[in-house]
Structure 1
Amino acid sequence: MDNSSESESEVSESEIADYSEKPYKQLRDGELKVKVKVDTFKCPFCSGKKKQHYKYKELLAHATGVAKGSAARNCKQKANHLALSKYLKNELAGDAEPPRLQLTVYSANQSQAVVNDMYVWPWMGIVISPLRGNDDKSLLLDSAYWLKKLARFNPLEVKTIWVEEDSAVAVVPRFSGGMDGFTSVTELEKEYEVKRCGKKDWSYKTGDWRFKTYGWCARGDDYNCQGSIAEYLSTVGKLRSFSDISKEEMQKSSIVVDDLADKIAKKNEDYNQVQYKYNEQIISLQRVLRQKEELDQTYKEETKRMQEISQRNVYRILQEKEMLSKKLEYRMKDLDAWSKELDKKQALTELERQKLEEEKKKNDAVNSSLQLASLEQKRTDDRVLTLVEEHKRKKDEALNKIRQLEEELNNKQKLQMEIQELKGKLKVMKHREDEDDEDVKKKMKKMNEELEEKCSELQDLEDTNSALMIKERESNDEIQEARQELIGGLSGLLSDRTNIRIKRLGELDEKPFLKACKKRFKGEEAEVQYAILCSKWQETLKDSGWMVSIQTRGD
């Protein structure tokens, strides 16, 4: 049916029966396959459904349910499933499973008797309990007592009747109208028959019948006889054959099964629709979640980029602000300096100019004297350097002598140890002299010679050591004299006119600035530039972050 035209897909409710003829013909001709195996079928119109294989009854219920579906269902689907339902009933009815009833199994004679017997319906039993001398009549007539006693047969209710002619209590338990009730009343009858307390035993009343309780299933003869039991049975029940009851139960079961099948088909249809909508919603939700994740990622990236741009802009603005502040500060200082310069220019008089010229002459004289002092200072520095080098040389000589003395001392100690060792060996040889060994005497002679040689070497080392000690004392005396002379020379050089001074770190010497400004500028402008430079360099020296960079250039 997937190849049908567009006009065929538009079917109205009134055309469903007519349109179903075409798919029915296709099913009958074998163009559409329904039967898969012996007891397995499939729906050719629901290929996309999750469930593909059905039993005969399940597929029939599915087709019937879809054909009778709600008005919102596609009319084409209704027509297709109506044709499938018709095909199953007409062509494949022989493949349906026969209905199964769970009935109590009897022998052949018994089953024929059960079918032909007339029973009181709803199913009822009769229990007779004769009254004995010591029995409590009121207890035996209590329905609750018998309902509890017969509880194993699951009766719905119990009716007690006094039978005057037999002085007995008749109990009539009523059971459910279905096959469960028939099973219960049959079990009751069998239990009493096994005890030989059935209906026949009650009719004969042989032996000690008053000491027994009798029971059986209520049938047509109980219903048609005379007495209070028959009156009650005719009041609450009616006579029906087992076959009629079975047919009615089967019809009810068939109706219930059909109804349940329709409900299951409708539920399956609703479930499939809900499942389809659920899948659509899941796909849509997944798509929305992916879009949301992409938007979140884009938003995070854009936010991060904007933050970085903002940070760079803020940093740039702060740098520009700082630069502008510095420029403004420098401009303010320049303006202050120019204002002071103007004030000074206005205040200067001819007398001040003369004073400046006199001071200039004095400065020239001072500069000439300073030049002479610097020459003398240079010569003094040369002498000091000579003394320092001489002191260093003598100190190195003294250190060399000390090292030589240490080496001589080590050699002396080594010789003393060797002498002691030779003396010990000689003593050992003297003890072995009695052996008259010629080799021993030769060794002793040789060792005596070595001992005399080592003693002479030791004497030479002691003489050398004494000479070196004398030279060391003389060198120390010379070093002390040179040190005293150097200290005396430096003390004489440190006067008011020398350039060697002690100066605090961070203080600015203003004289070089004044001298440089006077060389480059003239008159009042030199003093103004001198003041500006001093102020600027004093602020620079106070800055802890400022570092002095020294560049050395070759000739």
Structure 2
Amino acid sequence: MENSSDEESGVSDSEIEEYAEKPYQALRTGNYKVWNLKGNLRCPFCAGKKKQEYALKDLHQHASGVAKGAAHRSAKQKATHLALAKFLEVDLGFKPIQTSQPAEAKPQPSEPKEKQIFCWPWMGIVVNILEDAKTGKQLADSGSLVKFFSKYRPLGVEVFNNEQEQTANAVVQFEKDMDGYKNLLNFEKSFQVVCHSKEEWIANKGSLGSNIYGWVACADDYHSEGKIGDYLRKNTELKALSDIFQQGKQACETIVNLANEIDLQNQNMVEMESMVNEKAMSLSRMVEEKEELQQTFYAGQFPWITYVAVTVLLA
């Protein structure tokens, strides 16, 4: 009878890629964590190994090496580490150095934003806000950060102090609508153009200097340890971009339907008001005609009444 390792040795590369999809999604949702409590990168699939602190480049090298794998590597090991390599590239933005040698594994295309998982309502993250080492006074509070990012129209800023490192991090809140999304992207782009994005923050950990870094809050931030993760889990929910847009579309359709219904009701009220006015005018004419008939009747039957009335008026 063949053992499991014999069965796994017959698994093709394409099948390993299929098997990698499940652990990849688990990495994205935070079921597998790539950050330890100290904020360093780790391999969640090698929990028993001694080394559990990696630089981003080293962790990617480890994941890629196992994924390409020697013969003794199991299909499960290859699949999970292939998923980790994909997560580092697609979700954490690591760009491996291209060599002249063709890669054994097929390159993973970048996932379109429509399938990325965002914190919603829209949130931006700012890290490495320095404090004055002499006074301990925070160089940027909520009010000053709102002013600093005012061109992106934030709703507010929540600041979290790190007393040990004399720095602070912040979560920037944006409107839920499309304008808020555009402002959020421009906010993130302002950090990308000066190489202060999330990818650079991860790569430069330990030598951040006085630069602040910022990015859009996504699934890995939602599941992260610490104050920012706690805040995001309390105040946001994870949604795909396509779902958010669909929800917005449905809300707009609901508003349009309500507006149409109100217009229809207003039109009905105008028509009813017109009918009431017509009835009132008709009733008024009927009353006048009745009075005229009564006067004519009394004048014909009792002409002396008219004589007396005229006499009284002339007296």
The structure with the largest strand share of the pair is 2
The alignment's TM-score, normalised by the length of structure 1, stands at: 0.30
Rg larger for: 1
